[in-house]
Each structure stands twice: as C-alpha cells, then as structure tokens.
Amino acid sequence: MPALAGQAAVAADEIVDVRRSFGKRTAIDGLTLTIQTGSVVGIVGPNGAGKTTLIDMICGLTRPSSGTVKVLGEDVVRGGAALRARIGVLPQETALYEEVTAQQNLDFAASLYGVPNAVARTAEVLDLVGLRQRAHDVVRGFSGGMQRRLAIARALLHNPSLLILDEPTVGVDIEARHQIWAHIRSLKAMGRTVVLTTNYLDEAEALCDRVAILRAGKLLAEDTPVALTTRTGRCLELECAAAGVAVIGDALRGHADVLRVESADFGLRTYLKAGVYPEEVVHFARGIYPVNGFRARSPDLAEVFRSLTAEGVTP
Amino acid sequence: MIASVWGMARNDLAVWLRSPAAIAAALLPALGMGILVAVLTNSVGQQPVALVTQSKGRLGARMGKILEADAEAYLIEEMTASEAERAIGDQRVAAIIVVPENFDEAVAGRKAVVDLYLNNVDIDLADDIRRSVARSIAEFDAPQLGLLGELHGPSEGILLPNPYRVAVAEHNMRATNVSFLQYQVIPIVVLVIVSIGLLGTALLTARDFERGTAKLMILSPAGRLPLVVGRSLGGSLITIALVAPLVGLGFVTHYIPYCADTSGAPRWVTILFSAPCAWTLSVPFWSHAVALIALLAAVTLTTVGMGILLGIAVRDEKLVTMIGLNAAVYLFFLGGGFTTVAFLPEWIQTASRFVPTSYAIEGLRQALFYPDLVGFGTDLAVLSACAVLSLALASGMLARAWRKG
C-alpha cells in the first residue's frame, strides 16, 4: 500500500484491493489507493492501463468485481443519490448538447442535480470558466477548449466535494490547456478534492499533489511528483563520440551507483542512485573514453514513467 | 423529482427543435406518404370524364344534370363533341358520355340510349365508370336506385314508385358518410405520430449514448424514474409540438372554402393547399373530444416507449433513423394504412392484431367520423396497455443500459 501523504488529512476516497474484469480481460488488478481530501491526484498510464475503468468505479458507473471502493466515506456501490450529488464528473467526451446554448446545458444539469438558486449559480460557474458572455450561444459554435471549460462549469454546478476529470485537456490547443490548468489550480485553492486522468505527464506534474501510475490495471507507483522523480534517480547526460557510447555504456551498466543507462543522440543518459555525486561518475567515465561535456538534472515525470514501465517496479 | 422530469423534458424539446435535419427525417416521409395517398385516392376514386349533351330537350338536360351530380364517381367536364374526341385522344379524360340529340324523343319511345365511349385500358377503373353511368341512368327513372337513393337511404313512399320489381333497401350502419380521402387521412395522422414519436425519441436516446450524455444522466442523483418519465414527457411534447399544428390545420381547413369538398374548387387545388395539413378532418363531436385526446395520448406514449427501446437497442443515430423509418412504414401498412385491414389477406389480418397502429387507426376513425363509439373501448384499452408495457420495458432497459454505458 502506498505511503499516505499528510497522515492528519482525511481520506476522500479509499480503493482497497479492487479488481474489475470484463469477460476474460482484467481491467483493474488488485489496486489499492488512498486519495486525501483537498488534494489533486493524477492517474496516469498508457492507453488501456485501466484509468477510465478506475474512474468509472470511483464515480459508481462500474462495480468492482472484488474489493471495495469508498468515496467520501461511503461505499460507492451502496451509496445512492446523496453520494452522487456530492460528486462532479467531467467525462472524457465532454457530453454536451451541442444543439442548444451553454445556459441550456447548465439549466439541464441544474435540474438533474436539484441545484438551489440555479440562475445565480449558473451565472457564477460561467463566470468562473470565463464563458458568461457566451451563455446564450449555441455550443456547436464553441472551440474544443471552450467546450471543455463549459463541461467543467457543469461539473462544478452543484458544488461537489469530489471532482473527477477524465482527461480534461485531451484534444484542446495549448492556450486552452493552460486556461483549464488555471481552473483546476483554482479548484485546488478552493480546497476541493480533484481526481484527474491524463496521458500528459507534464500536466500531472504541473497540477497534481500526488500521481498514481498505472499499467495493465496495476498500480506501479503512487507518490508526489518530487518523490517519484527522486526515486528514479538524478539524471546525468554525458556527451561523447559515437564510438564511446558502447564502451562507456557497458562500463556504467556495471557501476554500483548507476541505476539505468540509455543511449541518446548526444551520447548517453544515465540515472544515478540517490546521494551519488555526478562528478564521480563523470570522472569514472572519462577514465574509459573521452567525455566532451556533461549535465546533471532532475528527471521529469516522463522519464519516471518510462523508468517504471520499463522495469515494472513494484510500488 | 418534478424539477428533474421537467428539466429532462424541456431539454429534449429544446434539442429536438434545434435539429432541423431530424425533424425533416421524421416529418417528410410521412407527409410525402400523405400527398401520395391523396393523389392516388383522387386519381382512383374520381376520374376525369367528358360529358357531351347534344340534346336540347328537357329530359336530355335532366339526364345531363343527373350525370353531373354524381361527383363521387367522376370529375365531369362538359365539352363539345370535337373537344371530347381530342380529350380522349390525348388521354385527358377516361371516357366520353354523350346524351344524344334525339334523347327526349327516344325516351318517349322507350328507346333512349346514353353513349359511353370508354378507354377500357384498366378493367378496374373502367368498371367504376360503367357502374357509375348505370347508376345515373337508373336514377333517371328510379331515383331510389341512384345516388339520391344512396344518400337518403330506404326510399319507400318518399321517391317515385319503383319501375323495377326489386329495389334496394339500404340500412346504413353509421349515421355519417365519410369520403375516401377523409377515411385515408387517419392512417396518415397516425403515421406522422409514429414517425415523430418513435423516431424522435429513439434519436434522442441513441444520441445520449453516442455523445456520453447518458453517462452524465445516470451519474446525477435524479434517479431512473424521473429520467424515464422525463424522456417520455419530452418525446410526447415533441410529438404534440409537431403533430398538433398539422391536425389543427386539418380541422381548420374544414372552414376554408378552397379546401372544402363542396367548394367547387378544382381537386388539385384542394390537395395542394390542404394535404400538408392533414386535409379536411371533420371536427369531432364534442362528446368525442375526450375519447380522441385519450387515444392520441395512448398512441403517442406507445410510440415514445417504442422509441426509447429502439434507441437503447441500437445506440447509433444513423441506424436508428433507418430502422425507425422502416418500422413506421410497416406499422402504417400493417395497421391498415393503405386499406381497411378486413380487406387484406387473412395472414395480414392476423398480424395486424398485434400491431398497435391498427387499433389507433380504427379508434381515431370511430372518434372522429361516427356519432357512436363502437369498439372504441377495446382500441383504447389495447393502446393503453401497449403504452404501459413499452414504457415499463423502456424504463428497465434504460436504467440498465445507462449504468453499463
């Protein structure tokens, strides 16, 4: 079970040893995860990793084959309308009625969720996502980013305690992506618990307090982005001639302080164990073949992901 | 709950009214079928015939008037002999009826004839003209055997003594006569309801699965009952919104001179102006208004329930359109859309007992055209049962399908 960040925090969701199969295919395989109240948690993984199935189980659309899923303190399978009223969902496909206006979309959602003082509340959420001026425009004329923002507004309409965003920035341009990030950050500032799935590791790194990495229905790792990158080790890039790549690479693979070695167009990329000084490894390499230059830096989440999925690390 | 139901219904109505292509897909085939039936009814029921009255005598003129008066049988146009010859040569008329110059004298000598020049290319159409001319000639001597007798029922003691030894004593089962065109309007009205109710609701449901709004609905705290009731109400409102103006215009055209049968306006003018709005529906008796509304509600709810079932089963907008339109046509045909079910082969009659539209057509005809409500109770009961069954099935399937979706 992953270490819990902030022991004093209250768990918003607890997923314990959950399995979900569709016929012979296992989508989620013995997954355990705790999500703290007020945190933003990213679920990342390649296509088919089980992200959407996990999200569907958290919001109650799909029942686990075994194990328990508790959301906001309630068993999601037994939780009824009262629990659903406390969850806001942004589906991957935005699920908007394109034929009608933004206001009509929100009016419809307000009627389903029984939002009190709906007129004022719809105006408020439209303001929040910067679409107040477009309230009476037909959604079909909206850009992809505007549609995403409207869908976020709809998910927030009933003031949910838990917000689930399934790939919130998929298919939108860079500018819209950053606008959506800003909205998610503002939600975090408001103290909401947000669970988001994403294929973009920079998105998870930029937004999330904690990141859960899935592959083939299993949880590979779950931690803060900083802890995950630390676990992967400091990255050391060595510039050398092509002839040196093989000999230095072979030598470094046998080095006790080196976790992993990859070839790169400039030479070699290596990942060092915690506490190892890069200069020592550079000195070692220069003893084997000339090194023209080097650069030490922290790995990004993409490298962490690559490292974990390549090695099948157990959390 | 009421807010959720109304919210769902209002949203469905708003989405549908902003979907002109879907409206056209539901309405145009039904309206096209209506115009087709009107044109066919007109061309089969009344054929253009030239009347040449060469006789200048009183009896010849009377014979001509009797022939002209039979507007139920043919569309008579008075012509000269040469005009009539050209018209039949050009196939603008199906026959020429000539009242000869010596008609009055010949009647006196009991040797009178009316010449009938008939384009007998189609035995069915030719027989219609033969029977009609024979009826008019019979009416000349015995009004009780002609159109006058048919319109006024048993004639003993009222009209002239019957020169024949046998007379027809007609006993009408219904107090009103309904034109064939009016009779055929009802299946078209039902077709419009089926097309919009079934196709409209099926499209809304299929789209909810396609664009993911079904997921949104099931994740809301509204619960399945308000969702199903709301969808049913929405589908019904859509149907009412599109059917009511057509049916309303059908009633209104009763009062518009050029649409009325008695207006004397050319038939094509009547069809052109009134066919798109369900022609001239007879204004129902006040006592029948409630029955009519109940039946229309039952038909609408049945088709809406079937639409939800279709939408769930198919979940693809294009496929729903294709299947929905085909289903509407079969329901129209098997329900007696083209002709009375009793005149169809035995196996179709058996099949039609399981088709709700047959009860809808029969019930609507009864409520609209006749002073009594014979058999109406059965029609309404069957349709109400169909509505309850289809909505109950739709409710179960909708909730299950959305949860899986």
The pTM of the full predicted model, rounded to 2 decimals, is 0.76
Residues 6+ away with beta carbon under 8 Å from A290? A240, A241, A244
Please state, in angstroms and rounded to a whole number, the distance separating the CA atoms of residues A209 and A198.
Answer: 14
pLDDT value at residue B323:
93
What's the per-residue H, E or C state across A173-223? CHHHHHHHHHHHHHHHHCCCEEEEEECCHHHHHHHCCEEEEEECCEEEEEE
CB B13 within 8 Å of CB B23:
no
* B259-297 pLDDT per residue, tens: 555 556 666 666 666 555 555 667 667 778 888 889 999
Chain A residues in contact with B216 by the CB 8 A cut-off are 89, 91, 95, 109, 112
* A197-212 pLDDT per residue, tens: 987 878 888 899 999 9
Residues in B lying within 8 Å of A, measured between beta carbons = 3-4, 6-8, 10-11, 14-15, 18-19, 211-213, 215-223, 403
What are the structural domain ranges in chain B?
2-41+178-404, 48-141
Residue where the block lists tokens 């890039």: A237
Nearest to B221 among A81, A98, A108 (CB): A81
Nearest to A104 among B11, B221, B222 (CB): B11
Q: Which of these, B291, B289, B259, B292, lies nearest to B277 by C-alpha position? A: B259
Chain B residues in contact with A109 by the CB 8 A cut-off are 216, 220
Residue in chain B lying closest to A98 (CA): B15
Chain B residues in contact with A119 by the CB 8 A cut-off are none
Chain B residues in contact with A84 by the CB 8 A cut-off are 219-221
Q: Please give the helix or strand (H or E) that residue B141 lies within, else none.
A: helix B123-141
Please state, in angstroms and rounded to a whole number, the distance separating the CA atoms of residues A297 and B181.
Answer: 87
Please state, in angstroms and rounded to a whole number, the distance separating the CA atoms of residues A108 and B180.
Answer: 47
pLDDT value at residue A3:
35
Q: The tokens of B297 are what?
A: 């509600």
Alpha-helix runs per DSSP H in B275-372: 289-314, 317-334, 346-352, 356-369
Could B15 and A100 be called an inter-chain contact, meaning their C-beta atoms sit closer than 8 Å?
yes
Check pLDDT > 70 for residue A311.
no
Could A84 and B403 be called an inter-chain contact, meaning their C-beta atoms sit closer than 8 Å?
no
Average pLDDT estimate for B128-139: 88
Q: Please give the helix or strand (H or E) that residue A89 lies within, else none.
A: strand A87-90
Q: B190 or B1: which carries more pLDDT confidence?
A: B190
pLDDT value at residue B273:
61
Of the listed ranges A37-41, A153-157, A177-181, the least confidently predicted one is A177-181
Strands (E) in B170-269, as ranges, are none
Could A94 and B212 be called an inter-chain contact, meaning their C-beta atoms sit closer than 8 Å?
yes
Number of A:B CB contacts under 8 A?
Answer: 82
Of the listed ranges A7-16, A208-217, B110-119, the least confidently predicted one is A7-16
CATH pick for B48-141 out of 3.40.1710.10, 1.10.357.10, 3.40.50.140, 3.40.50.300: 3.40.1710.10
pLDDT value at residue A314:
39
Tally the C-alpha atoms within 13 A of residue A5's C-alpha that lie toward its C-beta.
20
* A55-110 pLDDT per residue, tens: 988 988 888 888 888 888 888 888 788 888 999 999 888 899 999 999 999 999 99
Check pLDDT > 70 for residue A38.
yes
Of the listed ranges A87-96, B66-75, B158-167, the least confidently predicted one is B158-167
Could A112 and B222 be called an inter-chain contact, meaning their C-beta atoms sit closer than 8 Å?
yes
Could A82 and B221 be called an inter-chain contact, meaning their C-beta atoms sit closer than 8 Å?
yes
Nearest to A95 among B10, B212, B403 (CB): B212
* CB crowding A132-168: b at 16 or more within 10 Å, else e: bebbeeebeebeebbbbbbbbbbbbbbbbbbbbbbbb
Check pLDDT > 60 for residue A313.
no
Average pLDDT estimate for B327-354: 85
Residue where the block lists tokens 């094509």: B268
Chain A residues in contact with B209 by the CB 8 A cut-off are none
Residue B163 DSSP SS3: coil
Please state, in angstroms and rounded to a whole number, the distance separating the CA atoms of residues A296 and A33.
Answer: 33
Burial of B56: CB neighbours in 10 Å, binned 0-12, 13-18, 19+: exposed
B120 — pLDDT class (breaks 50, 70, 90): confident
Q: Please give the helix or strand (H or E) that residue A12 lies within, else none.
A: strand A11-22
Pairing of the two strands A66-71 and A74-75? antiparallel
pLDDT value at residue B292:
87
pLDDT value at residue B10:
93
CA distances from A3 to A6, A31, A221, A227, B73 (A): 9, 14, 10, 11, 93
Q: The tokens of B15 are what?
A: 């989405």
Q: Which of these, B86, B84, B81, lies nearest to B49 by C-alpha position? A: B84
Domain boundaries for CATH 3.40.50.300 within chain A: 11-224
Class of domain A234-298: alpha beta
Architecture field, domain A11-224: 3-Layer(aba) Sandwich (3.40)
As a whole number, the mean pLDDT across chain B is 83
